[in-house]
Amino acid sequence: MIEAIVFAITIVMPNLMLMGLGFFMQKNGQASKAFVDQASSFVFNYCLPALLFFSVVDSDVNYAKQIILIAAGIVVTFILFIGSELYANRFISKPADQGVFVQGIFRSNMAIIGLATVANAYGEEGLSIGAVYMGVVTILFNILAVITLSRVSKSVDDTWMSRSIMVIKKLATNPLMIALVAAFAYKALSLPPITGVIHTTGDLLASVALPLALICAGASIDLKSMLSLSGISMQASIGRIVIAPLIAVAVGLSFGLTGMHMGVLFLMAAAPTAAASYVMAKAMGGNDVLAANILAFTTVVGLFGMAIGAGILRGLGLM
């Protein structure tokens, strides 16, 4: 039991400390909004792609064996999406709130919190498996987000066709997706290992990715907004922090997942609401204040939920 508690603290505490540093810097005027925006853009466009590309290219993971894990992740996503859609249609009256509520539950922060926690738990091998999982499930996240946020139309030109084209363009130009596709292609072509200056530069960029991303996440936290929880945002936060991890464990067990694969599924599904959910809600006319509240609350509280869940699963020998 003590070993399980130490494991849980070990994988979550570094993330909390880096986010705490970001929050401290923001409070002391050392991390302005401009800095956070620029640093986040740098991480998204350069550091995370380098991390994902070299994690896949350098690994000896047999990606064909990850199909069961990816299938389980897709099932978890659909269960959360359909369940929250039914709940929203029954109990939430405003269309601008419904899509934000649904997205807040099914869309987790895999690229930053999820990958960082998986890396803390399982090292380079876990990071490689998590990168593949994220690449596939992210496509599904974007498609479902457009579907649920389409309740609110901002103009007559905002049609299903325009939204579909928008999703395709976003996926085709997403640096993370480009990096993963390039890495898979490199592996498939059996090209020689990347060494020398290129690999060293890539390693330096990759080493910056997760720490800087977590510091930016902490610097973006607005306590006033986080504590001003409406009933809807609290319900969505419970769905993300409590319901999503429980469903992930149930689906993982039904698929026969154990060890690292169960750990990756749980940590990716239990991660806080994705930062992209706020951006997409704002762009498509959803309730962006509600989205910000869900994002802030789950980002802080969700990490404790991940630690508790990881400790229990570790104690039971499941991850």
Cβ-contact 104, 273 below 8 angstroms: yes
Supply 37's token pair: 């925006």
Cβ-contact 82, 271 below 8 angstroms: no
Segment 137-143 mean pLDDT: 85
Confidence at residue 66, expressed as pLDDT on a 0 to 100 scale: 86
Segment 72-93 mean pLDDT: 95
Least confident of 48-57, 95-104, 303-312: 48-57
Tell me the C-alpha distance between 266 and 318, whole Å: 10
Tell me the C-alpha distance between 130 and 126, whole Å: 6
- pLDDT > 90: percent of the chain: 31
Could you list the residue range(s) of the whole structural domain that residue 281 is in? 2-315
Residue 63 has pLDDT above 90, yes or no: no
Find residue 123's DSSP bridge partners.
none
Cβ-contact 99, 286 below 8 angstroms: yes
Distance of alpha carbon 241 from the chain centroid: 13
Confidence at residue 278, expressed as pLDDT on a 0 to 100 scale: 75
Distance of alpha carbon 137 from the chain centroid: 10
Confidence at residue 149, expressed as pLDDT on a 0 to 100 scale: 80
For residue range 147-199, what is the model confidence (pLDDT) as tens digits? Answer: 888 766 555 466 667 767 776 777 788 787 888 889 888 888 888 888 889 99
Question: Which pLDDT band holds residue 238 (cuts at 50, 70, 90)?
Answer: very high
Tell me which amino acid residue 200 is: T
Is the overall model pTM greater than 0.95, yes or no? no
For residue range 189-233, what is the model confidence (pLDDT) as tens digits? Answer: 888 888 889 999 999 998 988 888 888 878 877 777 666 666 888
Quote the number of domains for the chain: 1
CATH number of the domain bearing residue 141: 1.20.1530.20
Tell me the C-alpha distance between 305 and 311, whole Å: 10
Confidence at residue 235, expressed as pLDDT on a 0 to 100 scale: 93
Confidence at residue 152, expressed as pLDDT on a 0 to 100 scale: 60
Question: Which pLDDT band holds residue 256 (cuts at 50, 70, 90)?
Answer: very high
Average pLDDT, the chain: 85
Q: Of all helices (H) and strands (E), which one includes residue 80?
A: helix 67-91
Residue 24: name the closest of 218, 278, 174, 240 by CA.
Answer: 218
Find residue 108's DSSP bridge partners.
273
For residue range 270-319, what is the model confidence (pLDDT) as tens digits? Answer: 999 987 787 677 767 778 778 878 888 888 888 889 999 999 999 999 98
Confidence at residue 225, expressed as pLDDT on a 0 to 100 scale: 65
For residue range 100-111, what is the model confidence (pLDDT) as tens digits? Answer: 999 999 999 998
